[in-house]
Amino acid sequence: AQSVSQHNHHVILSEAASLELGCNYSYGGTVNLFWYVQYPGQHLQLLLKYFSGDPLVKGIKGFEAEFIKSKFSFNLRKPSVQWSDTAEYFCAVIPYGNNRLAFGKGNQVVVIP
Amino acid sequence: NAGVTQTPKFQVLKTGQSMTLQCAQDMNHEYMSWYRQDPGMGLRLIHYSVGAGITDQGEVPNGYNVSRSTTEDFPLRLLSAAPSQTSVYFCASSYSPGQGRNEQFFGPGTRLTVL
Which of the residues A36, A43, A107 would you substitute to probe the B interface, choosing the one with the greatest number of B C-beta atoms within 10 Å?
A: A43
Residue B110 has pLDDT above 70, yes or no: yes
Per-residue tens of pLDDT for chain A, all 113 residues: 668 999 878 999 999 999 999 999 998 888 889 999 999 988 899 999 998 899 999 999 999 999 999 999 999 999 999 999 999 999 999 887 777 888 999 999 999 99
Strand, helix or coil for residue A89: strand
With contact defined as beta carbons under 8 Å apart, do B31 and B93 qualify? yes
Distance CA B35, CA B21 (A): 12
With contact defined as beta carbons under 8 Å apart, do A90 and A103 qualify? yes
- For residue B46, list chain A residues with Cβ-Cβ distance below 8 A: none
What pLDDT does residue A56 have? 96
The number of helices, as runs of H, and strands, as runs of E, in chain A is 0, 12
Instruction: Please indicate if any CB of chain B lies within 8 Å of the CB of A17.
Output: no
Subunit contact A42:B108, Cβ cutoff 8 A: yes
Amino acid at position A57, single letter = V
Q: Could you tell me the CA-to-CA distances from B34 to A74, B76, B95, B110 in Å, in that order?
A: 24, 8, 15, 11
Subunit contact B40:A9, Cβ cutoff 8 A: yes
Residues B25-60: tens digit of each pLDDT? 999 999 999 999 998 888 999 999 999 999 999 989
Subunit contact B44:A103, Cβ cutoff 8 A: yes
